[in-house]
Structure 1
């Protein structure tokens, strides 16, 4: 995934179905999802809260307690933060891994965006925190090792076909991190012989809703757990957080009722 929550909005309910089927799930987030915030303290807190949010969402999908253990992994010479779901009944095998690159923003204009790395306008891009940077060659190495470590039998990622990048609900554009992240994951998957399936992001917004009321309700509940925990850390109430009960944004209301595989899977 490009950002913490893309999986919940665009690849669900497929991820939930996979977890409930008893399959191991290892989700890798390429960026920290800092949303290009310039205030450093606010950006760090926002990233932290998104981490809490996706952990709560995956615990909901796995029907287990929201308890995680640090389980950092090493790939490409890097130590990468990672968490495993602590399931005492061992019904779920879930890992969330955060590479923590910069959010490129929808248009990809941020200085350290994946789009700039992909086009070659930057030879390397910096991580969200710390002095380290990453070349395209090393990024491919890191992703390759992460896929091998996971023992993945398939890769699910975002749509790789978008040619225009921006935010929009009309279907003609997508977030730059979605498309470029998908291209890197596809490159790794095909090199390793692991099947790759792509799912639409913003581009599915104008499509007719295609999830049943029951599946939409399940997807919405997962999203509401994410939102509740994304909002709670600032006042230290995560331990007692309940699902977010407010009105969802217009874009979220669209995506909750949809899941669309890309028509181009080749």
Structure 2
């Protein structure tokens, strides 16, 4: 019995010593065999793994670069319009409804542009057919080209070309063979009549009815191509961009107070041209709106040599227009409705509309 006590004591000391070495004190449990003098085994001390020495951390951090956002793909450059005509000088673009409109309402401005060797790009929107078909229309086209010969001082022939704009509208263009800075483009849409009700021969179609959605399409007089309002607007915008005008001459638009007594085609073309110029990025200060029939209430302001040239050019035109009756240039002043306009030329600015 004495040995057992001593054994336990020794083992206890050893166990305690081991516990002291590790900081842990082993726990013993007494069983029934202990009373019989059987020594109890000592629980082994747990083995501790030393903690690894921490790695030194840098005092500064390297910033993570922002991810590079890829640039969007460059859109393809749109193809140049087939209407594009290069010009080494400033360009005056005239967009009119009928073949005599610029001769009556925008001259001597047109004549002065030619005399200054500027590029002149004229666009006529309707065929001016008055429901009488292409034979009458093409005769009037010959008239305007002959009148331009008077203004530009040459009677050399014009080069004719037919092509389709990128918009899809077929057009006809004449360019002076001896002076490519002067060209005339014909869209040949039907004449809409004074009040915009059209003519029976062309199905009562008119620009005015197209603009007010009374009809959804209009047809060219020569090829009967179908033309929607969107197509017409896109075509005029394309022509404006292609000619890069310094100044745009057109007629007073429908939205202006000054259009109330004018021809329906005049005001429709004015509105279409205004929208096209804006879409093409032409500054408003470069838009000039010729007053039409209503300018008779204003003083005559075209006189002298300028009036003589204006009358001669218009009289030359009338020789191809069976509706016009002028025996002499001066006699043209007596034409009903717009003879008085030959002595006048007035433009409104965009701000004055």
- TM-score bracket for the superposition, by shorter chain length: 0.7 to 0.9
CA distance in 1, matches of 2:235, 2:257: 27
The offset of 1:225, in angstroms, is 1.3
Superposed CA deviations along residues 57-111 of structure 1, whole A, max 9, x for unmatched, are 1111111114111133431123311100111xx4x62111100000001100112
Q: Secondary structure at the match of 1:121?
A: coil
Name stretches of at least 5 consecutive residues in structure 2 with no aligned partner.
1-95, 199-203
Q: What are the residue-to-residue correspondences of 1:45-60 with 2, within 5 Å? A: 45-60=135-150
Quote the residue 2:348 is aligned against: 262
Quote the residue 1:67 is aligned against: 157
Q: Secondary structure at the match of 2:299?
A: coil
Aligned pair count?
242
**From 185, 191, 197, the counterpart of 1:97:** 185
The offset of 1:137, in angstroms, is 0.7
Name stretches of at least 5 consecutive residues in structure 1 with no aligned partner.
38-42, 166-170, 232-242
**TM-score of the pair, normalised by structure 1:** 0.84
**From 223, 236, 239, the counterpart of 2:314:** 223
The offset of 1:245, in angstroms, is 2.7
Superposed CA deviations along residues 157-214 of structure 1, whole A, max 9, x for unmatched, are 001156799xxxxx95100000011100000101222131101010102221111222
CA distance in 1, matches of 2:271, 2:245: 17
Q: Secondary structure at the match of 1:157?
A: strand
Query: Which protein, 1 or 2, shows the higher relative CO under an 8 Å CA cutoff with sep ≥ 6?
Result: 1
CA distance in 2, matches of 1:22, 1:51: 23
Q: Secondary structure at the match of 1:16?
A: helix
CA distance in 2, matches of 1:31, 1:164: 23
Quote the residue 2:14 is aligned against: none
**TM-score of the pair, normalised by structure 2:** 0.64
CA distance in 1, matches of 2:277, 2:271: 10
**Larger gyration radius, structure 1 or structure 2:** 2
Segments of 4+ in structure 1 off by > 6 A?
162-165
Task: Report if aligned partners of 2:208, 2:264 keep a CA contact under 8 Å in 1.
Answer: yes
Quote the residue 2:328 is aligned against: 245
Superposed CA deviations along residues 123-160 of structure 1, whole A, max 9, x for unmatched, are 11111133321111111111111112222222110011
